[in-house]
Structures are given as structure tokens and as C-alpha cells.
Amino acid sequence: MAHIYRPKHHVRFVTASSLFDGHDAAINIMRRILQASGAEVIHLGHNRSVEEIVNAAIQEDVQGIAVSSYQGGHMEFFKYMYDLLQQRGASHIRIYGGGGGVIIPREIKELHAYGIARIFSPEDGRRYGLQGMINIMMEECDFPTVREITDEVERLANGDVQAVARLITVCENRVNAHSEVAATAEAVLQRVKAMAKRVPVVGVTGTGGAGKSSLTDELVRRFLNEIPEKKVAILSVDPTKQKTGGALLGDRIRMNAISSPRVYMRSLATRSSRSELSLAIQDAIEVVKAAGFDLVIVETSGIGQGDAAIKDICDIAMYVMTSEFGAPSQLEKIDMIDYADLIVINKFERQGSEDAKRQVQKQYQRSHQLFDRDVSEMPVFGTIASQFNDPGTNTLFVALIDLINERMGTNWTTTLQKVDRVEKQNVIIPNERRHYLREIADTIRQYHKRVNEQCDIARRVFQLEGAIETMNERHDEQALAALQEAKRSYEEKLTPESRKLLASWEDVKKKYAAKEFVTKVRDKEIVTPLKTKSLAGLDIPKVALPKFKDYGEILRWLYKENVPGAFPFTAGVFPFKRQEEDPKRQFAGEGTPERTNRRFHYLCKDDPAKRLSTAFDSVTLYGEDPNERPDIFGKIGESGVSVCTLDDMKKLYKGFDLCHPLTSVSMTINGPAPIILAMFLNTAIDQQVEKKEAELGRKLTKEEYEQVKAWTLQTVRGTVQADILKEDQGQNTCIFSTEFALRMMGDIQQYFIDNRVRNYYSVSISGYHIAEAGANPITQLAFTLANGFTYVEYYLSRGMHIDDFAPNLSFFFSNGLDPEYTVIGRVARRIWAVAMREKYGANERSQKLKYHVQTSGRSLHAQEIDFNDIRTTLQALMALHDNCNSLHTNAYDEAITTPTEESVRRAMAIQLIITKEHGLTKNENPLQGSFIIEELTDLVEEAVLKEFERLDERGGVLGAMEMQYQRGKIQDESMYYEMKKHSGELPIIGVNTYLNPNAAVEEEIESLQLARASYEEKQLQLENLRKFHEEHKDEVEEALARLKHVAVSGGNIFAELMETVKVASLGQITKALYEVGGQYRRNM
């Protein structure tokens, strides 16, 4: 077991992922090991700006900051952080970072020289191991942040944040300090107490997982909006692990309102208190009172039935619980009901909450002897803190302000209104449909049970035919009659579908034995050659069929496998691959739209099919506009293309006919997907309008414009990712509240139905990013399919017909080298087809699960990067043999940089060599008939169904998300993989075994061509944005006001976005939608 450094002082760290970076798998692993090593960790989660991190570090008085940065812009980011700490007088705080191979050796040296404590490289991970790197950080940060008190008390009177932070540290440290230090601290605190004003202290306590942090954040947001000029301090307490001394101080991650300069927040660990409060909490309250804060909120760690310590340190006590407290008699055991001034039943959307509220009101009435008042007057409130502008939380806030005014003599007012009834405003999955995943699992199992029964019957028929033939030869009439009667009896037990399948089998064999196969697609006749002649002169069949004679085996094969293009589509959703269009789809995006446009043209050179896949930079992915601020400026055009206006979108696809039948555009965008999609569709429409006007030699009339627009929408091909569920679970580019984001997804699909958009996928339900975050292949597949079925249920609940939207759904998987990846498409197609037909009654087009595969980014390593192409080749071969509908092969250098032209050419060659040169790939069902493939298919399918049941037990996908089940499972699997990799139990060639004795020296790594956006390109994007803003300055406010009105009034947001994007930039639209839909709240 690795040595663990144990600190002498209380070491505190702020951990986060950098701005516009959702890759939090690595930082989550590191913060867990920090906690286990005895550190108190304030985890901020993903997408954190330099200012947010520095503010948190100073307010929390930490020794170290640890940040992961995988999205480029790291030089500006880390330097800006260092500069800001220097400016704020916090130069003692040490900065640690890492970014896999993205931060190359010369950049690491430059950052070290600038003052960054350490940037860890993949080589450091190999040299020290995970614990070894943590030991270095812990030892270097093992020092007291406060060595002596100087002018902190004087600065405190002016509300100096650093003085507040340092004095709270003094409060914490004096608890177990020796007598001399304690005496000094006591003297200082006496001066502080003399300065403290009388201000309200609200204590918030409750059971673990009740949503205290979310509720506190919502109350603070209302306080800031409703009571101007006033300041609030939040003191949040989380438990210390007694075994290690470490603590996860995780409440900050849930707080969106604390970025205001009117808010101070400090997280405290319980340390040796052995209760839900820190022993220093009373002194900390005095410090923030003395600093001039007008309201103090103390939030405790989760408590049990017998805990009520909060009552001794607050003026108003609030107890937060949920409806899940068990039998009403359990309420009699909860001490806080006796002491609470306000009781909150949060997550009030859960079943039974109204009854629970009534029971709690009765218990409160009994506990407080208030029998002279009606039970409905008891201060028990239902809230849904996760709901934007929740009326229940508004009601609670009004009651809280009234109580503060009554107790403290303040005269605070609020414009918010009380309501009597609290309901979920945007119901995603109706309560009566909450068990949909269990129903789907049952449907699949029932299908297989029925298949087995039918196969047994068919086998009996085949056996009886053999016996009849034998009796015919023996002329045994009596036995013959009995056998024929038995055969008729069994034949009657065959379903009409079984009889039809068996009756048509010989015809199927004849069709595939011919030289050509004729199919019809939307009334278009397609002739496909069925044989490919090898160099040796053999005719290689495009589809090979089994040679079964037994009816049972034939039926089993047809029900479980069947030919490609036939239910249950196990072997593929189309009879054959497109002859004129290879399945390749290469990802591109770098710098400006003009630069990426050139890359697109390079990738499609001499190729009739233009299959474009677009990577956006992280500024765009998070719905923001480019900006000069260093931590934003550094990200412009890095790891993707910068697009923030309709003008940018037009430049991006210039020279491509977006309505050509062989053109298809995929866009990897999620949080701001509705805005980007509106820009893309407008680009396609404007292209066709320009063509039509050039053809006519004049401007179009309004009627002609609408006709061109309608035709464009019905013709354009492609995919937008827009999968908000997996963003919450894995990739983290959520920007809007989950419910609002889902509403916009539904609006997109409704717009597609209304405008007959048939060829463009409204969502790419993605497992790729779930896998990249650390999930194993079964978890990736199960979560992705479960998300897909959740969209189905949501769209059905909005009144859409299954066959109107199901064909607009597509999927996206990662392919690694684990055995399960060999059958990931087979299992996905079969589960989807069976569920859609048997449960939802969908037509054949809706039953077809179409998916894109990208080879595993996680399997790309910075060490021995040339080996990455070998892994990618194997992954690509697996995907193509599993009949994926399109494929992206990663470039070998993506572990370090955006791919260069040379590396992309190699990545493209991988696909082309497989499809053009690899002989077996001329056959299109090479996996069928293999015992191990069939076994794997059944094993993986059952594992997926069991995961569906686990999700169902947690309330379905959305209920499980609320409990952070998916995130937790993904993080656990990520940790398992990393530990196996670092221990060497999981061999990775060139990384932890078969190491190169002549490993690449730094000079060789430095010589790699890096695709980074230039300073001039970044400046160009800023200038273009300024021009766009200037051009539309007279129209934008009215357009944004219309958009917000549509959102508030329940209209179709996407339909209005189609107009808004003509005059407003991405960042302007995002900010407007935050006002009406709410911002995403991060999870641990």
C-alpha cells in the first residue's frame, strides 16, 4: 500500500475544473485522495472561472488550489490565477494543476517559472502514482495560513474579506491550541465581539440529502434580489471523517448566488466536535457580525432525529426534511420539530408530500402546544428548491422575512407572494409513468420468453415432420395419423408472425443467394450487388445466412438476429451500407470559422459525400461570447471552433450545399444547442434563398421565401447532439436548469414535427461522454438507452405521437477495447426495437436505432502516442463489423492537441483501409453466427436490463439524477480504472508495461505540431463580435424581450430562437434565457 503523508496542520484545498471545462473525472479522483489523506477539500466542480476559484480560496483561507484543465487556454488561465492571488494579497496560496498530455513540457516549465507550484504531467503520474502526487501537494501545503495577527481586526471593520477569513481560521485553530496560542486568540476575539452588531442569525439544519444547500442558495438569491444593499454571510458546516481527519466541504458547489460581492461564504469542518456543528461556529458568527454583514445563515451537516444543536446559536431555526420520514410516529422522535421556527418539506414534488406536510403540521401543533390555532397555520412549508422561481420557496422566503422583522425589529420588505399550493410546474415524467424502465425490462424479457416458447414449438413441428417422413417410409398409417394430428396441434400454437417467418425463409435465402438485391427506400429503388470477388477469385457474400434446417433454430435466429434491416435489427437497421457514402465522419473545429471551413474542405476533398462533424470551442459550448478577460480569451478557438453569431455560422459552412442529398452536418453542442441549431438552420435557409434569388435575378416575395424555408427544413440532413441528460450525468456542459433545458429540447422536436423536419436528428443521445467520464461499457449503454427512453416518455407526455418523433432520435457511443464493445450496437438495436414495437406500438422506422461511434478518447495516451493509432484501428474495426451508421476515428495526437492535418489523414486512412482493403469487411454481417458474439449479446443485454431496474428503484432517470446515482457510479468506475491502470493490473502497452527504453525526450514532444488558435485569430473573433453587436444594436433588445415573453408565456422557445439569432449573439441570448429559465446547479 502506498505511503500516505499525514499533515501536522489542518490543510485546506480548493479543487475545481477550469473555466468552460466539463472534464471533472481527474479532479474528482484527486479530491477524493486529498480527503482520504486528511485534507479539508472545498470542491467547486467543473466550469469555474479564475475569479470564482480565487474568491473561494481567499474566503476559505486555504493553503492550496488544485485545478484540472483539459480544454486548452491553460497558459492564460494559470497565469491569470497567479496574478489575481498576488493582487489580492494571497501569494501564499499554492497553485497545482494538470491536464493530461494537453499541457506539454515546455508549457509546464514556463508555468513553473511564472510561479505555479506544480503542473503534473502524465509522466509524473507514472513516476509518483496518484498517492505520490497527493503526498507532494499535502507536504508542500502543510503550513499554517495564520502565523500572527496584525491588523486583521481593524480591516474587519471595513468588511475586508481576507481579514474575515483569517479571523475565522483563528477561531478554528484556537479550539485545540495550546494555552499561549489560545490566550492570544481569545484576546483578539474579545475585540471582535465588542465590534459585533445585532443581526439575525438563521440556522438551517436537516436530514442529509434533503436539499439544504439548494434551498439556502435559493433563499440567498431571493435575499439579494428583494433586499438591496444588504449583505449576507453563509457559514456552512460539513462532517470531518474521524478516521482520516479529511472532509469534503461540498456546499459551495451547489451555490449559484454566492458570486455576488454582497455574499461571503465559509465552509467549516466539524473536526473534533462530534456534532453537526464546528466548535468554532459561535466565534465565527461573531466575526461576520463584526464585519458588517446584515444576515448570517448557518447551515449544518446532515443530522439525525436526536440532534438540535443549531437552536443554541441562531435567532431563527429552520429544519429541512423530505416526505420520506417513515411512519408518523417517527416524527415524535425528531428533536428539531420541538425547536424549529420554520419547517420545510423540500422536494415536494415527490409522491405523498401533501400527506407528509399534514402529519408534520399536526406534530408541530402538538410539540408547541398550539391547539388554539388551526393546524394549517403551523409554519410548515412545501418547497421544490430545484425548481426555478419555485412558488413554495417564495412563500417560505416571505415567512422568513416576516419572522426576522418580528424577532429583530428590522423593516425588510419583499414583493414576493405567498401561495397555498406547491406543484411541479414543468412535469417531465408524469407520476403514473415513473416505472417506465421496469416496464421496458419486463417487455424485453417477456419477448425472449415468448421467442423461446415459439422456438420449442417450431422444433417440435420439425421433429414431427421427420417422424412423419419416417412413418411414411414404413407405411404405418396409425402412427402417421397420430403424428400428423400432433403436428397440426403444435402448428396451431405458432403465432401468425412465427408462421410467416418460417414460410418466407426459403424466399429470403433465394434473395440473398442471387447476384443482386433490390430494395426500396422512400419509393426509390436501390440495386445492391450481393457478391464481391476476391483477388483469389472467390465470391464473398455481402450477407451470409445460417444453414439451419431445424425450424426452432431458424425461428430463434430470425427472432433474435435476422438479416440486417429486419426486426429486431440486431445485425443492423439497413439491409446494406450506402454504396456512394462511406460511414466515415471526421470531427473538426479549430480557431476561427474560416480556419475550420478550410479544414472541412480538406477532409472532404475528392469525396462526393460531405459528412461534416463540428467541434466547438469551450466558450461556445458554455453559451458565452468571446471576451478579453484572460481566462476566457485563452479558450477562444481552442479544441474547437469559435461560433457566437449567425455570421460565424455562415462562414463555417461556406462552400457546402447544406441541402445536397450527400451533405450531412453533425454538431457536438449541448447546453446552448437550441441557439446553435437555430443559427445552423438559418444558415441553410439563407443559402437556399440566395440560390433561388440568383436563379430568378430578384428578391423573393414573402410567400416564395416561406416556400424555400419550408423546403430547406424538410431537406437538410444532419444531427445536433443536444442531449442534456448525459450532460448532467457525465460531460457537464449544462448551462440552463435541467427542466428548462428539457423543455427547449421538447420545443425543438415539436418544431421539427410542425415543419416536417424528417432528415435532421433533433438529439444525439450520447453514451460517448458518459464513457469518457469513466463509465464502463455496460454502464455507458444502460444509461444512454435509459436516457433515450426518458426522452420518449417526455415527448409522449407532451402529446407527441411516437412515430412523429422517434425517427428524429439518434444515438452516439464510444468504442473501447473491452469485450462488451464488440456487441454494443447489437444490444442497443435489439433492446430499442423490441421496446418500441412491443411496448410503444411504434412503426418500423421508429424501431430503428441509428447510431454514430467515435473511437475512445480515453484510450488515447500521451505516452507512446504512435501506439494510439493501433488501438483506434481495433476499435474502428469492431464498430464497422457491428454495423455502426457512422464512425469517427480519433487522431493519435488528440491526447495532446487538436489534430493536425497529418494526424487526421492517418485517422481517415484507418477507416478507408478497413472499408476498402480489409477483405472480411466486404461482408456486412461478419459477427453473426459466432458463439461468443451471441453469448456476449445476451450477457450484455441482461446486464443493461438490471441497470434499468436499479434506475427504476431510484425513481427513473430523473430521480436517480437527483440522488446523483449516475454521477457516483461513473466516478466509482473511473476511480477503479485509474487504480488498475496505475497499479499495472490493467496492462496498457507503452504506458504501464512494455515501456520504451528509448522513450521520447522532451525535445521530441516539443517538436509535435500543435493546433492552437493564434492571438490574431482570437482578436479577430472579438472584432467580429463587436461589429455584429454594433450592426444590430437597435434590434437586439426588442428581440430578446420577445424571446423572454415567449418563454414565460409557454410558447415554443425554439420557434422564436429562429428569429432571435438573426440579431443577437450567443452570449446575449444565453443571459436572457437565464433570466426566465434559471441556471444549472452543479452536483458533486
- Please write the tens of the pLDDT for every residue from 822-837: 999 999 999 999 999 9
Domains of the chain: 12-140 (3.40.50.280), 196-422 (3.40.50.300), 436-560 (no CATH), 586-962+970-1006 (3.20.20.240)
Rounded distance between C-alpha atoms, residue 597 and residue 595, angstroms? 5
- Please write the tens of the pLDDT for every residue from 957-996: 999 998 889 999 998 999 899 889 988 999 999 999 999 8
Number of C-beta neighbours around residue 893 at 10 A:
26
What percent of the chain clears pLDDT 90, i.e. is strictly above it?
81
- Please write the tens of the pLDDT for every residue from 240-260: 998 999 999 988 998 999 999
pLDDT (0 to 100) of residue 608? 85
Least reliable range by pLDDT among 204-213, 531-540, 820-829: 204-213
Known binding residues for adenosylcob(III)alamin: 23
**DSSP-based three-state secondary structure for 556:** helix
Q: For residue 603, is pLDDT > 90?
A: no
Least reliable range by pLDDT among 607-616, 639-648, 931-940: 607-616
Rounded to a whole number of angstroms, the distance between the first and last alpha carbons of the chain is 28
Q: For residue 315, is pLDDT > 60?
A: yes
Q: For residue 100, is pLDDT > 90?
A: no
pLDDT band at 1006 (very low <50, low <70, confident <90, very high): low
- Are the CB atoms for 656 and 612 separated by under 8 Å? yes
Specify the amino acid at residue 788: G
pLDDT band at 752 (very low <50, low <70, confident <90, very high): very high
Q: For residue 581, is pLDDT > 70?
A: no
Known binding residues for GTP: 209-214, 254, 346-349, 962, 1083
Partnered with residue 319 across adjacent β-strands are 205, 343
Q: For residue 522, is pLDDT > 80?
A: no
Which runs of E-coded beta strand occur in 531-583? 531-533, 539-541
Rounded distance between C-alpha atoms, residue 535 and residue 906, angstroms? 26
- CB burial of residue 424 (10 Å; 0-12, 13-18, 19+): middle
Q: For residue 226, is pLDDT > 60?
A: yes
Least reliable range by pLDDT among 415-419, 480-484, 975-979, 1006-1010: 1006-1010
Q: For residue 800, is pLDDT > 60?
A: yes
Known binding residues for substrate: 576, 611, 717, 761, 810, 845, 850
pLDDT (0 to 100) of residue 181? 66
How large is the angle between the packed helices 179-195 and 281-290, nearest 10 degrees?
40
**Looking at per-residue confidence, does 613 or 462 come out higher?**
462
C-alpha cell at 140: 508542500
HSE-up of residue 99 (Cα within 13 Å, Cβ side): 25
pLDDT (0 to 100) of residue 895? 82
Q: What is the mean predicted confidence (pLDDT) over 178-185?
A: 70
DSSP readout, 183-251? HHHHHHHHHHHHH-----EEEEEE-TTS-HHHHHHHHHHHHHHHSTT--EEEEEEEPBPTTT--EEE-G
- Are the CB atoms for 191 and 378 separated by under 8 Å? no
Q: For residue 1023, is pLDDT > 90?
A: yes
- Are the CB atoms for 458 and 494 separated by under 8 Å? yes
pLDDT band at 177 (very low <50, low <70, confident <90, very high): low
pLDDT (0 to 100) of residue 1003? 60
What percent of the chain clears pLDDT 70, i.e. is strictly above it?
98
Q: For residue 186, is pLDDT > 90?
A: no
pLDDT band at 63 (very low <50, low <70, confident <90, very high): very high
Q: For residue 1076, is pLDDT > 80?
A: yes
Partnered with residue 815 across adjacent β-strands are 855
pLDDT (0 to 100) of residue 439? 98
pLDDT (0 to 100) of residue 583? 66
- Please write the tens of the pLDDT for every residue from 129-165: 899 999 999 999 999 999 888 899 999 999 999 999 9
Known binding residues for Mg(2+): 213, 237-238, 251, 299-300
DSSP readout, 472-509? HHHT-HHHHHHHHHHHHHHHHHS-HHHHHHHHHHHHHH
> What global pTM score does this model have?
0.91
pLDDT band at 122 (very low <50, low <70, confident <90, very high): confident
Task: For the chain, give the longest Cα–Cα distance.
Answer: 116
Q: What is the mean predicted confidence (pLDDT) over 374-394?
A: 94
pLDDT band at 1000 (very low <50, low <70, confident <90, very high): low
**DSSP-based three-state secondary structure for 950:** helix
- Please write the tens of the pLDDT for every residue from 330-358: 999 999 999 999 999 999 998 899 999 99
- Please write the tens of the pLDDT for every residue from 289-302: 999 999 999 999 88
Partnered with residue 616 across adjacent β-strands are 641
Known binding residues: 23, 209-214, 237-238, 251, 254, 299-300, 346-349, 576, 611, 717, 761, 810, 845, 850, 962, 1083
- Are the CB atoms for 612 and 666 separated by under 8 Å? yes
pLDDT (0 to 100) of residue 898? 73
**Looking at per-residue confidence, does 251 or 119 come out higher?**
119
Rounded distance between C-alpha atoms, residue 804 and residue 443, angstroms? 22
Q: For residue 496, is pLDDT > 90?
A: yes
Q: What is the mean predicted confidence (pLDDT) over 496-514?
A: 96
Q: For residue 1, is pLDDT > 80?
A: no
pLDDT (0 to 100) of residue 463? 96
Q: What is the mean predicted confidence (pLDDT) over 308-322?
A: 94
Specify the amino acid at residue 158: N
pLDDT band at 1002 (very low <50, low <70, confident <90, very high): low
- Please write the tens of the pLDDT for every residue from 865-895: 999 999 999 999 999 999 999 999 999 988 8
Rounded distance between C-alpha atoms, residue 272 and residue 270, angstroms? 6
Alpha helices in 514-645 (DSSP H): 551-560, 593-603, 618-621, 630-633
Q: How does the average pLDDT of the chain come out, rounded?
A: 93
Place of cell 430494395: 519
| Residues in contact with 818: Cβ distance below 8 Å, sequence separation at least 6, in sequence order | 776, 777
342-345 vs 586-588, strand pairing mode: unpaired
**DSSP-based three-state secondary structure for 580:** coil
